[in-house]
Chain A
Amino acid sequence: MKRLMSGNEAAARGAYEAGVTVAAAYPGTPSTEITESIAKYNNIYAEWSPNEKVALEVAIGAAFAGARAICAMKHVGLNVAADPLFTVSYTGINGGLVLMIADDPGMHSSQNEQDSRHYARAAKVPMLEPSDSQECLDYVKQAFEISESFDCPVIVRLSTRISHSQSAVETGERVDYQLKYYTKDINKYVMMPAMARRRHVEVEKRMLALQEYAETANLNTIEWGSKKIGVITSGIAYQYAKEAFGDVSYLKIGMVYPLPEQLIARFASEVETLYVVEELEPFLENEIKKNGIKVIGKEFLPVIGELTAQLIKEKLLGVKQEVNEPLMENIPLRPPVMCPGCPHRGLHYVLSKLKLNVIGDIGCYTLGAQPPTESLNSVICMGASIGNALGMEKARGAEFAKKTVAILGDSTFIHSGITGLIDVVYNKGNSTVIIPDNSTTGMTGHQDNPTTGLTIKGEVTRQVDLVKLARAIGVDRVRVADPFDIQELKKIVKEEIASPEPSVIISQRPCALLKNVKHAGALKIDMEKCKKCRKCLAIGCPALADKGDFIEVNEALCVGCRLCTKVCSFNAFETSDSAEKAGALNG
């Protein structure tokens, strides 16, 4: 039966059909739904791991033990998991091991747009790249076959438009995969120098064998059309190229590393003009040019952002789509914002009022960098805030630390903030670390994590106690505050930055979008009491509107969190008559 599936759902289905029994991941857009979908299959163990490195280590363990295992993450997650990847490339596997890596060209929801194909070459592992949902399913299954045939992990690379586009998929049956025999094998699995040197030889042999496999693999296909133009392309770029070029010849690369060099040379020799169409880096292009083949690619196509069919037509064929003039100049932008009722809003309001240096991290609270609070100084990567803050303190001294806080969410703290906090204690820093604990992993769409007390399957589990954890690390000053009690929070932050020792403030209030969070219902403004001072607009609530002559509450958006009442000096907010309208935000 044909079903409409996103690339992520189809990849999950592929894992199911391949007989996978262990799946581990840390959520990250656009990869999150792969593991969410896998978790719905009863006969697969699935987990949210604390971070991508642990996730890959769990998957490696399962593969060593003889199971088929899968591990999913976004492109930057692979930076975290790179350490085990480079060495499991040496050991090889036992049961099949597949890594799903989702790139984010255009940075819809990421801090950089690195091209993960470089990892395949650097770690010497094969990489497949599907171009629609059906291929996501098929390639995942084939990746397990390759993994076991060549004794290596296999990466399947997705991108945002593959992960989050839906197309029809023909599903199949799950294979009855039997655990492979497991035996202790020091020479294969213990990577000390003597053994690793021998394994590296195996890696090089394997890459040659894989290159030969690529020449005839059904993953790389030629579609002959007019031979005036040949296009070498892969992944989502293939779809754009098909639309831009129409009836020409295509070499569609399904295995982007290692490349089928002879097949490419044969294809190149039969077409008059050869283009390479790929998103981000000239990865295919450089590999092809290395063999002396003349191709046109990144001299015209951008290395920045996503491609589109129109962009390819314009840059490579000189055909510009006629478009209408914009109907209006200066249409206001609509950047993402913290939701109505978001607990982070109170925290960012306090931080901006105190004019602190706020060293940020990855999560919904990163949105505090936007107007009106503009409260962040820097954001690098998951867990970076604490180390960054300590480094600033060591560079500029203790006085600077008294005006500085690090801020990172509950899930991000567990991911890679704990080690930063240990560094602060160990190396005698004074840093103040604020953990906005919203009882979920918010930005990626509400995944449980070790602090929520629930597993990915919704089972109750032991909950990490952030207060006890911070104390155990050696932080004596641990405070818990409600971000909607602005005065109290402000007092606590002031006390903690002034103290000459490390401190942790847990700013605790659940995400407003969680199902178990009840909302009181919309507020409205008493026009007689409102003095139009506009102080309430400084909290940056999307449910408030400045109508020029008056301020208005958008009752369809307001959830009645009452944060605005805490900053209003005139008591102008009151409960709306239509408070039952609350909850208009319906994902």
Chain B
Amino acid sequence: MKPFKTLDAVACPLPQSNVDTDQLIPARFMKRSRADGYGGFLLYDLRFDETGAQKADCPLNDTIRQGAQILVSRRNFGSGSSREAAVYALVDYGITCVIAPSYGDIFASNSVNNGLLPAVVSEEDCEALLAGLQDGAETATVDLEALTIRCANLVVPFTVDPVWRTKLLNGWDDIDLTRSHAEAIAAFAASDRERRPWMQPNRPATASSGT
């Protein structure tokens, strides 16, 4: 994964609360292979009308927001379904940082696994950033080492879980790290079998007959 250190890019305001993952990518688009790219489906029903034409009132369709890599939104961003496709849609569209006061836990975790920074700001700073962008600011600078966001004439701090910060700064993937613990995992499994013999599923002769 590509390390994330600083990002200086076009930022787009999305002044809504509870932008859930069903909105980030509607379920009907999730049958595609990732290789086809998910960016075209990002916030599809917000960006396009029934005929497939762009909606004028969607900030992402604004000329000055083209090529946006930063999205600023309100509380509980990415709530709902665990679909990682919501993150694929953001990343494939080009967004690598979302700024909001709070996130759905699963979404935030999925983001970090795809190199997307879920930056947490206070409600107050979020409103200030949204206002700055709506007043015409086009870009923002996100510094993951300094934990600051510069936008318009503002400098606001943000937080991110320290473990996630390290992972993003280094572009680490968990699997290789976990495999270095293979012996500990095997030892745990062996002792656990003694401790909790009932954990192992019973294998019914005729499965799924119910009771």
Q: Do A and B bind each other?
A: no
A residues adjacent to B (C-beta < 8 A) = none
B residues adjacent to A (C-beta < 8 A) = none
